[in-house]
Each structure stands twice: as C-alpha cells, then as structure tokens.
Amino acid sequence: MKKQILIALLGVLCLTGTAQNEVDAYRYSLTNYEGSARFMGMGGAFGSLGGDVSAIGINPASMARFSKNEFSFSIQSAFMNASTDFYGQTTDNSRGNFNIPNIGFVGTHNFKNAGKIGWQSVQFGLTYNRQNNFNERISIAGDPGNSYSLVFANWAEGTAGSDLINTNNYDSYLAYETYLIDPDPIVANNYISTIIGGTDVQKTINRSGNMASTELALSGNYANKIYVGGSIGIPTIRFNETATHFEAVSNDTINQLDNFSYTQNLKTTGSGFNFKAGIVVLPMDGVRLGLAYQTPTAYRMSDRWSNDMTTNFDNGDTYSATSDNGSYVYKLRTPSKLTASASIVLMKRAAISIDYEMKDYARAQLSSTPYAPISYEFTNENTAIGNVYKKASTIRLGAEVKLGPSILARAGAQYRQSALVESTGAQLNYSTGLGYRNNNFYIDAAYIISTSSEDFYLYDPALIDAANINKNSNRATVTVGFRY
C-alpha cells in the first residue's frame, strides 16, 4: 500500500511544479555541505576534529579548538552531469558554475589567568557556508506511446470550458485554449486529446540557485579538555526552475497536430533561522568525541510561478496561451538534526575522523502565514510528507596525513541515505585534497566527486514509466586562509 501511495505522489509531484508540496519540503531539508577545501577534502567529517571555519555549521563547539584569529575564503568550480534512460533512449546534459562555497572569520581571546579559572579561551565566529547547490540541467527523451495531453484532459473533467481559466489556469486551461484538448462531443464537460498516435517526447529541466547559511557562533575552551559552543544559523534559499515538455506527434492523419510545448517556471526564495549547541570532549590524549544538536529550521518562503503552452499544426496554425503569474508566501519547518562525532589524532601527524548525522524527514511541515491572502492548511501535503519520507542518516569519513612540515594530504567519503520510504538509493561523495600550512598562512585544494540516482515521472505513473536519472558532479575547491 505504501508503494502505491509513493508512486501516486511521485506522479503528482512531477505534474504540479507550481505548488508548494512535499518535494519542496524534502529539497530544502537536505544539506549537502560545502565549505573550505580542507573540510571538503576530508568528506566534511569535522564535528569533533574542529579547527576549521566550515565545521562551525556542524558543531559550534569545534570552534573552541582555535587558538588564533583566523580569516579564510574559498572559491569553487562545479560541473554537474545528468544521464537519463527513458524507454531505452539515453540522453546526457550538463551544467557548470563558479561560486563561493565558504567565507569565515573567527576571533579568539586567550585568558591571561587561564591556570586559575580553568577557561583557556573564548571564540566568536561569523561564517558563510553553502549547504546545497541546485545548479543542474537534465534532458529526458523517448517514446512513451502516449501523451501528456491525456493528463490535461483528465484534469479538466467535470469543468465547463469557460470555467477552466478559474480552476485550471496553469494546466488544462492552457491545453484547451491551444486546442491540445477538445470538448468530448458525447459527454458534457468531458475532454479528449487531439493527439492520435505516438509522440516523441523531449523534456528539459534547468535549475539554478543554492542553499546557504550564515552562522553567528560563540565557543569556549575549558582546560583544553572540554569545548562547548552555540550558534544562531540564518539560512537562505534561492531556487529557480524552468521545465519544458515538448512532444512531436507521429502517425496522426486526423487532427493534424504537429507538436506542442508546455513550459513551467518557478522561482523560490526563503530565509529562516535555527539554533545549534554542541560539545567536544577529550577523554584521553589524541581522542576527541563530539555531540551537536540543531533545532528545526523555521523558514519564511515565497514562490512565484507561471506556465505557458504552444501548439503547432500541420497547416501552419500556431496557438499560444499563458497563465496568470502566481505567487504565494508560506512557512516551512525542516526537521532537527543530531550529529555524533569521533576522531583520533596520531602524534600530531595524522588524523582520522567520522561523523554520524540523523534527521527525520517525515517531520518537515508546511503551513500558511498571516501574510497569505488565503489561508491554507496544507493537510494533504503534510500527510504526504509523513507517508513518503522517513528517518535517514549521513555518514562522513575523513583522514589527513602530514607529508612534511608544511604539506598535508587528505581523503574523505560521504554516504547519505535516501529519505524515501520505498527507496534504498543513496548519494555517495568521494574527495581528496592537498594543503600547505605555516603559522600564519595556508592554502588548501580539494576535488570532490558525487554520484546519485533517482526515478522521475514526466506525468501520471499510470500512463508512463519513470525515467531513470544518474547524476554525477565534479567540484574543485581552493581555500586561502590567514592566522594572526
């Protein structure tokens, strides 16, 4: 039964790109950490190791490992490729971008009477870290043997043509106005597709934007054995998507429709806040244990969307229709997060670190805001979140070795479990890096490879098979830092 619910929901999600739904809740609950080159080169496993500005976003207590003031910034080149398999046809597409994944400052005050009071130092941090990169381009092509127009006809069922502009302004109304669907000559307020025969389908999805978080953190070092810290996170979201569905009609000698295109545009922005608290302890020399908790993140979100459709007929006639510009302001609460960490430092020449992160994606919630012109309860969407998603864990592993007095080599891996109830898939990241460090300056470089796969339904799963999408990304990051 759960599998049937999941398939039905996946179909709805692929069809309603203009609404606030469970896909939005999941997308903005995921955190695929980016940051400094050292952080990324070690797979992000810094919850207990500390000493890096990006680690503050995982466990603010790790900042207490700083003994000097420090400023650093990073630049990154990213390239994302998506390969799809749809009815035996393989299509590739890619997109690259250049960004700043991290910038941060940590100020340290060392106490002069540390021997008497026990507290060695306090730190204040201000950092910016990317948490997700949405830039990608996906192409899907194949012959499913039917048409998206059947879905538009089904959605219009029971509604008079003159009322579709009010009830189905973003989908069936466009199909009706461009003669992609026609009134059923037998049954009143029913509709039929003007496509007879097969279609060659091409769908292109262009996405851009990112999630990022600014952290204001405070930490303290007690006796060089206990490190505590807390932070206020101010995350932001910027997401843009343009999805174009194109069908070229084959073997149609009756209605003479040559092709149609349906384009959906969505722009989402959001900002929110959360709190983090953490502790790192050193039970014995070379061993560090950490624990951190992040509260749910409360976002204020804004969506803007519009759709358009164009049909072209064999006789040269062209028809176009455009929806109204839609907008809605709403709230999103993403789930809390618990991170446990452990690391071992061997004679100050090597370090091995592991982080284990747990998040219950089923606890994400959508709700209306006082600013919304029409209050909406999101009952169906929140029920779907609880049915489709589950608890999921992320494991990060990292290692660093000194090759000489100032040269370090790094490697890392990350495994992120899928949060879909009926999925066993996962995202895997592999990384490597090098660094040069002296007392006052450092420069680090890292290279990261990420792989994942997903199933995507172009429209109703009762009519069409899923397109399998295999994604891989390659990112190169360089960080420059100064200590004083």
pLDDT at residue 251, as a whole number: 67
Nearest to 40 by CA among 60, 57, 64: 57
Q: Please check whether residue 169 lies inside any domain of the structure.
A: no
Count the domains in the chain. 1
Question: Residue 125's domain spans which residues?
Answer: 2-147+195-483
CATH code of the domain in which 254 resides: 2.40.160.60
Q: Is the dihedral of CA 461, 463, 468, 471 positive or negative?
A: negative
DSSP helix/strand/coil, 64: helix
Residue (of 143, 194, 482) closest to 311 by Cα position: 194
Burial 442-461 (b: 16+ CB within 10 A, else e): bebbbbbebebebebbbbbb
Q: Are 167 and 152 in contact (CB under 8 A)?
A: no
| Phi and psi, residue 475, nearest 5° | -130, 135
Query: Are the CB atoms for 450 and 472 separated by under 8 Å?
Result: yes
| Phi, psi of 179, rounded to the nearest 5 degrees | 65, 25
In this prediction, residue 348 carries a pLDDT of 84
- DSSP, collapsed to helix, strand or coil, labels residue 283 as strand
Distance of CA 124 to the CA centre of its chain: 29
- Residue 356 CA, chain-centre distance (Å), reads 19
Q: What region does 76 belong to: left with phi over 0, alpha with psi -120 to 50, or beta?
A: beta
- Per the listing, tokens 């692929």 go with 14
8 Å CB contact between 308 and 281? no
Q: Which amino acid type is present at position 352?
A: I
In a domain, 276, yes or no: yes
Q: Distance (Å, rounded) from C-alpha 99 to C-alpha 469?
A: 25
Tell whether 201 is covered by a domain: yes
Q: Are 20 and 303 in contact (CB under 8 A)?
A: yes
How many other C-beta atoms are found inside a 10 Å radius of the C-beta of residue 348? 8
Q: Give yes or no for a contact between 29 and 359, defined as CB atoms under 8 angstroms apart.
A: yes
User: What was the pLDDT predicted at 8?
Assistant: 36
Residue type present at position 484: Y
> Among 69, 74, 39, which residue's Cα sits nearest to residue 57?
39
Domain-embedded: residue 41? yes
- Residue 202 resides in a domain: yes
* In-domain check, residue 318: yes
Residue 111 burial (CB < 10 Å; 0-12/13-18/19+)? Answer: middle
Burial of 415 (0-12, 13-18, 19+ CB in 10 A): middle
29: three-class secondary structure by DSSP: coil
Give me the helix-helix angle, 379-388 and 2-15, nearest 10°. 130
Residue 253's pLDDT is what? 56
Is residue 23 a part of any domain in this protein? yes
Q: Chunked in runs of 10, what are the mean pLDDT values of the chain (484 residues)? A: 38 48 89 91 94 94 96 96 96 94 96 87 96 95 93 96 94 96 94 87 96 97 96 97 94 78 97 98 95 97 96 94 94 97 94 97 93 81 93 96 96 94 84 95 97 91 93 96 96
Q: How far is CA 405 from CA 269, 398, 401, 439, in A?
A: 46, 20, 11, 11
**160, burial (CB in 10 Å: exposed 0-12, middle 13-18, buried 19+):** exposed
